């Protein structure tokens, strides 16, 4: 029996199917995931990411990211150091933070793969429109936890999965690189698992505070 990529429980149930792939939902943590048979390989995945045109000069992109970054900057001191996990080909959060005098390192598996960045601990970590792309959800959350200092903040931007009716009409699942979909209840499960405090800041932004 298949196990959930997040909570590792054998509680996956068929949830939805479209003409491209199947989706399964965990009865324990409510993560919706795509079975391994439908995952892209690394070359195919990067080819999709290479089409993205995000860059720091795009005011619309800055406004989009500010919904995740601003709540963090409002809660940290001026000498705080952060990490943008999954910064993409056009790192922007680090630029926006630097303009306010706050240092943010960049890390990305494909575009800024410096493993030393993952050996440090930070006052805050941002992960914007990334978590839904990562197949091994359990390892990802463990990595994010290891990157946070005690009292550190983790902000996650990703659209949240709803019920079956909403999911069936949801454009977000149409991206072939979107493979794990988190519900509000999934983030509540994560908070309990890691003893983090959860704040839901919007329909696609959540903030965790590490104890």
Half-sphere exposure of 26 (CA within 13 A, CB side): 26
Strands 22-26 and 32-33: antiparallel
Top CATH class, 12-210 = alpha beta
pLDDT at 1: 66
Q: What confidence tens digit (pLDDT) does each residue in 131-160 have?
A: 999 999 999 999 999 999 999 999 999 999
pLDDT at 54: 85
Domains in the chain: boundaries: 12-210
Q: What confidence tens digit (pLDDT) does each residue in 9-20 have?
A: 999 999 999 999
Residue 52 has pLDDT above 90, yes or no: no
- For the chain, give the percent of residues with pLDDT over 90: 97
84, β-bridge pairs: 106, 126
Q: What confidence tens digit (pLDDT) does each residue in 94-120 have?
A: 999 999 999 999 999 999 999 999 999
Going by pLDDT thresholds of 50, 70 and 90, the confidence category of residue 73 is very high
């Amino acid at each position: 029996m298949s196990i959930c990529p997040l909570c590792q429980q054998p509680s996956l149930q068929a949830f939805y199917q479209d003409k491209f792939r199947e989706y399964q939902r965990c009865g324990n943590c409510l993560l919706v995931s795509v079975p391994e048979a439908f995952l892209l390989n690394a070359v195919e995945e990067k080819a999709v990411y290479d089409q993205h045109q995000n860059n720091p000069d795009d005011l619309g992109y800055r406004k989009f990211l500010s919904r995740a970054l601003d709540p963090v900057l409002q809660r940290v001191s001026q000498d705080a150091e952060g990490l943008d996990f999954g910064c993409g080909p056009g790192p922007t959060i680090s630029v926006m933070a630097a303009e306010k005098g706050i240092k943010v390192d960049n890390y990305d598996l494909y575009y800024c793969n410096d493993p030393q960045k993952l050996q440090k601990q930070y006052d805050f970590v941002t992960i914007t429109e990334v978590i839904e792309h990562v197949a091994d959800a359990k390892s990802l959350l463990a990595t994010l936890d290891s990157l946070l200092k005690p009292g550190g903040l983790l902000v996650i931007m990703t659209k949240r999965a709803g019920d079956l009716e909403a999911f069936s009409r949801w454009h977000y699942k149409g991206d072939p690189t979107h493979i794990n979909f988190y519900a509000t209840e999934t983030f509540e499960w994560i908070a309990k698992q890691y003893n983090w405090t959860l704040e839901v800041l919007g329909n696609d932004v959540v903030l965790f505070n590490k104890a």
